[in-house]
Amino acid sequence: MTETPVLELSGISKRFGDIVANENISISLARGEILALLGENGAGKTTLMSILFGHYRADSGGVLIDGWNCLRANPGRRSGPASAWCTSIFRWRQI
């Protein structure tokens, strides 16, 4: 029997006017698995994480955390199973 993914994003899309930030993103993450989002500036990484943590609403798609549909929950309830701190990352040209 297959274990329920701890995190499952299916068909996540987000636009800001004519700008497509995320288009049909699907990710399935098993318990204990590690995932890195890599991409150039403006590729949609922060937008995707902002959808996951409730800062933005996806135009389409779904997010399940341990089988629980967190996009349909109110923001107060959504902060229980997952939360994030956003920090500024400074780039240094020379070390």
pLDDT of 52: 84
95 assigned to some structural domain:
no
88 assigned to some structural domain:
no
32 assigned to some structural domain:
yes
pLDDT in tens, 33-92: 999 999 999 999 999 988 887 788 999 999 888 888 877 766 555 555 455 444 444 444
40 assigned to some structural domain:
yes
56 assigned to some structural domain:
yes
49 assigned to some structural domain:
yes
What is the bridge-based pairing of β-strands 60-65 and 19-29? unpaired
52 assigned to some structural domain:
yes
pLDDT of 55: 83
pLDDT of 89: 44
89 assigned to some structural domain:
no
| Number of domains the chain is built from | 1
Tell me the CATH number at 28.
3.40.50.300
Segments forming the whole domain that contains residue 70: 7-78
Sheet with 7-16, edge to edge strand ranges: 19-29, 7-16, 60-65, 68-69
